[in-house]
Amino acid sequence: MTIHLRWESDFSGLLWPEMVPGRLIRRYHRFLADVALDSGRVVTAHCPNSGRMTGCCEPGMPVYLSCHDNPKRKLKYTWEIIRMPTSLVGVNTLVPNRLVAESIGQGLVAELSGYASVQREATVGHNSRIDLLLSNRTGGRCYVEVKNCTWVQEGVASFPDAVTARGLKHLVELRRLAKKGDRCVMFYVIQRMDAERFIPADDVDPDYGEGLRHAVKDGVEILVFDVAITLECIRLNKRIPYQL
């Protein structure tokens, strides 16, 4: 699916397309959401998030949709943001990858500066892909896997919100690459503004939490950032501490 966002240097972030406000009626079948627009019309929007969306899909909350006129699309609207009591929350899981890639390319992530190129969707191992491959002019490589986090409870952000075999597979690949001498980074984007620290959700997926701790022991780095999000723009904000 294409992300209809534009990078804006003045904001050092991505500009949302024009938003259509409404209120969430229900989210169902993972990828569908019924929304009552402020105009009174009820529409079905694409929900670009396959997770449980714990804590950010409550019926009755204000939501914001992007609108697309592509005749090939089955659904005209895409759910982008929900307004929760403590923060706007970006629900589109494709946004963090684009945001991190653009931010690194613009030199806005100090921890990942000094790389000459940013490649999206790098193939590694046996038919696996890592979100980003950073390369420098001397042959150095850094693999970066980006994860979207929207689950926050009392200031604590957690990932994942559902069992993720795919996420565990990425950790295994990063461990293997790190042991070979490549730099590897797990980059968690908290797509909201009310988190004070980050932890793996061991109560949801203990295998993922254990896999993350093993990966760190083998040299995989962790970066966690929240975002500054408005109805006009989203950008990486500040680094959030993590606890394993």
Q: Indicate the average pLDDT of the chain.
A: 94
pLDDT given at position 97: 95
pLDDT given at position 3: 62
Q: Would you say residue 221 has pLDDT above 80? A: yes
pLDDT digits (tens, 9 = 90+) for 112-154: 998 999 999 998 877 789 999 999 888 789 999 999 999 999 9
Structural domains of the chain, with CATH: 6-90 (2.40.50.580), 95-239 (3.40.1350.60)
Q: Looking up tokens 């501490």, which residue turns up?
A: 241
What is the band of 25 on the pLDDT scale with cuts at 50, 70, 90? Answer: very high
SS3 call for 75:
coil
d(Cα 77, Cα 85) in Å, to the nearest integer?
Answer: 24
CB 222 within 8 A of CB 182: no
pLDDT digits (tens, 9 = 90+) for 34-72: 999 999 999 999 999 988 999 899 999 999 999 988 888
CB 103 within 8 A of CB 236: yes
User: To 10 degrees, the CA torsion angle through 72, 73, 74, 77?
Assistant: -150
pLDDT digits (tens, 9 = 90+) for 78-102: 999 999 999 999 999 999 999 999 9
Q: Would you say residue 198 has pLDDT above 60? A: yes
d(Cα 234, Cα 227) in Å, to the nearest integer?
Answer: 7
What is the band of 2 on the pLDDT scale with cuts at 50, 70, 90? Answer: low
Name residues whose C-beta falls within 8 Å of residue 58's C-beta, 6 or more positions apart in sequence. Answer: 24, 82, 84
What end-to-end distance do the CA atoms of the chain give, in Å? 33
Mind giving me the DSSP string for 170-230? Answer: HHHHHHHHHHTT-EEEEEEEE-SS--SEEEE-TTT-HHHHHHHHHHHHTT-EEEEEEEEE-
DSSP code at position 110: G
d(Cα 160, Cα 205) in Å, to the nearest integer?
Answer: 7
